[in-house]
Amino acid sequence: SQKTPQETLYEKDGRYMWHHMKPYQKDQNPMVIESAQDAWITDIEGNSYLDGMSGLWCVNVGYGREEMVAAATEQLRKMPFHPLSNSHVPGIQLAEKLNDWLKGDYRIFFSNSGSEANETAFKIARQYHHQNGEPGRYKFISRYRAYHGNTLGTLAATGQAQRKYRYEPLAPGFIHVHAPDEYRLPSGQSFEEWSLQCAQMMEDTIKWERPETVAGVIMEPIITGGGVLIPHPSYVKEVEKICKKYGLLLINDEVICGFGRTGENFGYQNYGIEPDIVTMAKGITSGYLPLAATAVKQKLYEPFKRKEESDHFRHVNTFGGNPAACKLAIKNLEIMEDEKLVERSKTLGKKIREGIQPLEGHPNVGNIRQKGLLFGIELVADKDTKEPISNNEIGKIIAQCKSRGLIIGKNADTVAGHSNTMTMAPPLSITDEDAAMIVRTVK
């Protein structure tokens, strides 16, 4: 019998495609998405879904933005490629704009992905110390539960064992400490007390490692994929203070938190700190084209200016800062400015939060966490013991949402092997009706 075009595609998918991060059993007849508009995606069967995860936490301005397509197309015709060992106009313009968004004094190194942006940060930090008279500083402190990328260095920085253990040995020199979790506190402690204790343990770790061997700390202001852990503001300030005290560089991974996701331009701006290095990707182009950036405080550039041949940053990235991607990114940021999407993220985030807050009364909802349009709903089998619900149960909830037309996510497995936090990060441009649909469906 004749196969339908859809059946043929599923068959070829099964034969030729190797999907990202998918267990084989769940890999049969995947969603094959064919078109998208605003916050909605449509598969080859004609089913439409509200994309409550913005693809992979990235389509911040929503789908179907013709102006972005036009900007990239025009640039592809005019000049599709030139390496950034020289320079090009869209690169210069975007670097200036990113510096404005950062509200600081930064210099920009372009690459293509969040992983590359973080690798670049590690290398810049090490070389900075090397040329600043402290060649022994090579270690980085990072935190359990955070994800920083898929390369051997960024995976070493990642604090999720289940993503790592089959690929070891990874890059040496990454030391992990605990990130405070407002829902799982040692008994008798307030969130602030525990947060400050975690910061203290970070400081102790730096001392045990010997500060003169430590190059920096990498952290997401809010751990995203590891369960949406909103920090206590005192913790973030304290980490910055510790970095300054011991001469460490503070690297902020803004790959998800950047570009309005948390209700500010960048996540760190919620906490009044000034990181030495800021890494970004995803929302920089709203996912339309690959692009990433490592923003570095001007003062860190000084040792790289010296005259010796080898004192420059010996790091090349062929496609990093592709001119069409830069042009598209500029348009993406202009749309966010024109439509005030960063503010919208803050106000609409609060509104959705109010809508789902009553769920905390449900016997299986342990904790709801939110900042801007970034949400984590932690589910438990038992509220008293806080035992996580099973992977199977959370899988059923996600499938239920999907069957009602809403795509949501879940956090990466915890050390105990549980994914127990539902995650949501819809486009910042979603309509009030879309927001109401999210609240209704999740409830």
Interface with ligand PLP in residues 174-193 (CB under 6 A): none
SS3 category, 142 = strand
d(CA 287, CA 61): 9
Minimum CB–partner distance for residue 287 and ligand PLP (Å): 10
d(CA 118, CA 265): 19
- Residue 115 contacts ligand PLP per CB under 6 A: yes
From residue 202, how far is each of 198, 207, 214, 217, 264 by CA, in Å?
6, 9, 12, 10, 27
Among 60, 75, 111, 113, binds ligand PLP (CB under 6 A): 113
- Residue 225 contacts ligand PLP per CB under 6 A: yes
Minimum CB–partner distance for residue 36 and ligand PLP (Å): 19
Among 75, 131, 224, 423, binds ligand PLP (CB under 6 A): 224
Segment near ligand PLP (CB under 6 A); pick from 128-136, 144-152, 178-186, 394-402 = 144-152
Segment near ligand PLP (CB under 6 A); pick from 85-93, 109-117, 130-138, 261-269 = 109-117
Measured from each CB, the residue nearest to ligand PLP is 114
What are the φ and ψ backbone dihedral angles of 375, each rounded to 5 degrees?
-130, 145
Where is 49: in which H helix or E strand?
strand 48-51
DSSP for 325-394?
Answer: HHHHHHHHHHHHHHTTHHHHHHHHHHHHHHHHGGGGGSTTEEEEEEETTEEEEEEEEETTTTEEPPHHHH
* Beta carbon nearer to ligand PLP, 110 or 147: 147
Minimum CB–partner distance for residue 221 and ligand PLP (Å): 10
Minimum CB–partner distance for residue 150 and ligand PLP (Å): 6
Q: List Cβ neighbours of 2 (8 Å cut-off, separation of 6 or more).
A: none
Minimum CB–partner distance for residue 166 and ligand PLP (Å): 18
Among 88, 137, 143, 148, binds ligand PLP (CB under 6 A): 148
d(CA 161, CA 214): 22
d(CA 302, CA 172): 27
Question: What is the C-alpha end-to-end distance of the chain, expressed in Å?
Answer: 43
Site size toward ligand PLP (CB under 6 A) is 15
Minimum CB–partner distance for residue 145 and ligand PLP (Å): 11
Q: Are strands 409-410 and 106-111 parallel, antiparallel or unpaired?
A: unpaired
DSSP 213: G
* Beta carbon nearer to ligand PLP, 131 or 411: 411
Interface with ligand PLP in residues 237-256 (CB under 6 A): 253, 255-256
How far is C-alpha 289 from the chain's CA centre? Answer: 16
Please, how many CA atoms are within 13 Å of residue 352, restricted to the half-sphere of its CB? Answer: 34
* Beta carbon nearer to ligand PLP, 113 or 429: 113
Candidates 404, 393, 395, 351; CA nearest to 373 is: 351
Structure tokens, 196: 């400050």
Q: List the x/- string, 253-282, binding to ligand PLP by CB under 6 A.
A: x-xx------------------------x-
- Residue 227 contacts ligand PLP per CB under 6 A: no
Minimum CB–partner distance for residue 360 and ligand PLP (Å): 26
Interface with ligand PLP in residues 75-94 (CB under 6 A): none
* Beta carbon nearer to ligand PLP, 220 or 378: 220
- Residue 121 contacts ligand PLP per CB under 6 A: no
Interface with ligand PLP in residues 370-429 (CB under 6 A): none
Q: Characterize 283-302 residue by residue with b for buried, 16 or more Cβ atoms within 10 angstroms of its Cβ, and e for exposed.
A: bbbbbbbbbbbbbbbeebee
- Residue 147 contacts ligand PLP per CB under 6 A: yes
Chain residues that interact with ligand PLP, rule: CB under 6 A: 113-115, 118, 147-150, 220, 224-225, 253, 255-256, 281
